[in-house]
């Protein structure tokens, strides 16, 4: 089982970081951690998607850091480099101790591969990368002896629970899920929920895409696939349970019946700091959890009728090959369509299931094959979005 080790950078030196997705929720929190521990971290460079001003503002406290925009949405200020190739070159910088992949969705695959092929340690928050190309990404890590450390709170929890344990003793991984804003909503209300309702996550503040994924529970499906690749555990031994308080971030069940869990406040800066610092803890990153204030910890089974996306993703993971890449691409398109008002909330999961089941073909043997599966998923999902919004317009209907 490829459980990441827990070593840091050379003692006494600062950890040199390249950050992909610097203007997003993960990126901003990572920069906050680095700014608070300047004696521990140095920002070598930062990559953003399209927003130049936001990127320059984010890196302002780190003079000297190189700044790259993948596809600028407007004029490019002086000093900002441009292009996906430049972002990949930055991710492969031999001086980097760790490359944090914290944004970009499927587009983060290229800088991740560039970093791994250069033997850099990768701290990964962007689930989409392992979902679409888990086999290739983990093979590249093995080939180049590069570590992949988890940042997602659930996978960080599992990583922490596994430290010092014999991998042979692991019986099951148990991922917890908050259940999002619709855990108890009437099914019809949920189906026609507004963007605002879907973005009102009860415990975590995150970017819009992952927040909608939490509301459909697609994010938990993506996390199951991510856990499979990060920890090398078969799908039938990765369970999901709803835990509304979001205090227990995940657990590992061992062969003797013991369960070890990790708890903490729902603040991504804790797992970000742990991964950036190579598994070594920094004092005072987040306030400690006050168990008496949490009061109680509830757990319940996932309602499969309410959250079909979880099963769709699990099945895609079990099918393997191109299926997870198709699923991921269809989901990115469907979530964007929902956020743009083109489809109903309930249609996200339907559309992703339809696209994923319509694909057949050999497993991708290289990145070109992964990108072809991604393109299939995107194109097919766009067609379905267009058909559904066309039907709605023809019926004179408005989205609720
Ligand atoms: N937020 C969380 O608490 C959380 C927790 C667990 C896991 N995750 C995962 O972490 C990832 C990032 O989530 P987020 O919430 O931080 O997203 P977000 O707030 O939407 O931020 C996305 C970031 O990616 C950048 N980006 C867009 N296109 C890019 C490209 N082609 N190449 C490189 N960067 C690009 C964006 O730049 P622009 O601003 O210029 O568009 C922005 O900096 C997602 O995969 C999510 O599932 C997030």
Whether residue 300 sits in one domain with residue 161? yes
Assess whether 139 and 21 both reside in one domain.
Answer: yes
pLDDT at 28 over 50: yes
- Tell me, yes or no, whether 89 and 140 share the same domain: yes
* Final residue of a structural domain among 113, 135, 151: 151
One domain, residues 293 and 162: yes
347 and 334 in contact (C-beta within 8 Å)?
yes
pLDDT digits 0-9 by tens, 170-228? 999 999 999 999 999 999 999 999 999 999 988 888 899 999 999 999 999 999 999 99
Residues 210 and 241 in one domain: yes
Q: Give yes or no: residues 300 and 165 share one domain.
A: yes
Domain shared by 114 and 168, yes or no: no
Q: Is 51 in the pocket of ligand 1 (CB under 6 A)?
A: yes
Domain count, the chain: 3
Kindly state whether residue 125 falls inside one of the protein's structural domains. yes
Structural domain of 209: 154-266+289-311
Q: Do 264 and 176 touch, CB atoms closer than 8 A? A: no
pLDDT for position 254: 98
Q: What is the pLDDT of residue 11?
A: 57
Nearest CA to ligand 1 atom 12: 103
Strands 259-263 and 248-254: antiparallel
Q: What is the mean pLDDT of residues 261-276?
A: 98
Asked if the model's pLDDT at residue 123 lies above 70, the reply is: yes
Assess whether 53 and 122 both reside in one domain: yes
Q: Tell me, yes or no, whether 135 and 184 share the same domain.
A: no
In this model, does residue 6 exceed pLDDT 80? no
Q: Quote the pTM value.
A: 0.94
In this structure, the answer to whether residues 367 and 344 fall within a common structural domain is yes
Is 246 among the domain residues?
yes
In a domain, 271, yes or no: no
Residue 54 CB–ligand 1 contact under 6 Å: yes
Q: What is the pLDDT of residues 51-78, one digit of tens each?
A: 999 999 999 999 999 999 999 999 999 9
Atom of ligand 1 at shortest range from CA of 210: 47
Is 104 a member of any domain? Answer: yes
Evaluate whether residue 282 is within a structural domain.
no
Closest protein CA for atom 36 of ligand 1: 49
Closest CA to 158 of 233, 218, 214, 211: 233
The CB-side HSE value for 43 (13 A sphere, CA atoms) comes to 28
In this structure, is residue 367 part of a structural domain? yes
Q: Measured from the CB, is residue 150 less than 6 Å from ligand 1?
A: no
Instruction: Please give the pLDDT value at position 226.
Output: 98
321: left (phi over 0), alpha (psi -120 to 50) or beta: left
Two tokens, residue 14: 């600062």
275 pLDDT above the threshold of 80: yes
Ligand 1 pocket test, candidate residues 26, 56, 270, most atoms within 8 A of CB = 26
| pLDDT exceeds 90 at position 5 | no
Q: Which residue has the higher pLDDT, 20 or 105?
A: 20
Quote the pLDDT of residue 1.
46
In a domain, 281, yes or no: no
**pLDDT over 70 for what percent of the chain?**
96
* pLDDT, tens digit, 9 for 90 and up, residues 297-313: 999 999 999 999 999 99
Same domain as 170, residue 293:
yes
Q: Are residues 28 and 142 in the same domain?
A: yes
Average pLDDT (9-24) is 86
Provide the CATH number for the domain around residue 64. Answer: 3.40.50.720
- Domain closes at, from 94, 120, 151: 151
């Amino acid at each position: 089982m490829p459980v990441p080790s827990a070593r840091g950078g050379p003692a006494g030196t600062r950890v040199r970081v390249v950050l992909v997705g610097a203007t997003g929720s993960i990126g901003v929190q990572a920069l906050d951690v680095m700014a608070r521990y300047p004696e521990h971290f140095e920002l070598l460079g930062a990559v953003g998607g399209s927003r130049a001003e936001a990127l320059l503002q984010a890196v302002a406290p780190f003079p000297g850091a190189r700044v790259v925009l993948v596809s600028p949405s407007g004029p490019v200020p002086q000093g900002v480099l441009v292009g996906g190739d430049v972002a990949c070159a930055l991710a492969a910088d031999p001086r980097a101790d760790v490359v944090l992949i914290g944004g970009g969705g499927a587009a983060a695959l290229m800088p991740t591969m560039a970093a791994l092929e250069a033997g850099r340690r990768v701290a990964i928050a962007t689930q989409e990368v392992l979902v679409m190309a888990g086999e290739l990404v983990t093979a590249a890590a093995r080939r180049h002896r590069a570590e992949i450390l988890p940042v997602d709170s659930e996978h960080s929890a599992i990583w922490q629970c596994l430290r010092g344990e014999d991998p042979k003793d692991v019986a099951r991984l148990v991922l917890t899920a908050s259940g999002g804003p619709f855990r108890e909503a009437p099914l019809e209300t949920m189906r026609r929920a507004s963007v605002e309702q879907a973005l009102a996550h009860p415990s975590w503040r995150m970017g819009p895409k992952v927040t909608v994924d939490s509301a459909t529970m697609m994010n938990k499906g993506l996390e199951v696939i991510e856990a499979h690749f990060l920890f090398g555990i078969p799908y039938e031994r990765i369970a999901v349970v709803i835990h509304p308080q979001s205090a227990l971030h995940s657990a590992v069940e061992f062969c003797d019946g013991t369960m070890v869990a990790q708890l903490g406040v729902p603040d991504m800066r804790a797992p970000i700091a742990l991964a950036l610092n190579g598994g070594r803890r920094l004092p005072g990153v987040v306030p400690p959890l006050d168990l008496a204030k949490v009061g109680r910890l509830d757990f319940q089974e996932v309602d499969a009728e309410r959250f079909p996306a979880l099963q769709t993703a699990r099945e895609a993971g079990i099918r393997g090959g191109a299926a997870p890449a198709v699923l991921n691409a269809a989901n990115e398109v469907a979530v964007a369509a929902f956020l743009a008002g083109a489809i109903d909330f309930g249609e996200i999961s339907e559309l992703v299931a339809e696209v994923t089941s319509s694909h057949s073909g050999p497993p991708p043997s290289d990145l070109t094959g992964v990108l072809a599966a991604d393109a299939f998923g995107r194109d097919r999902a766009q067609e379905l979005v267009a058909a559904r919004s066309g039907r709605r317009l023809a019926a004179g209907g408005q989205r609720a």
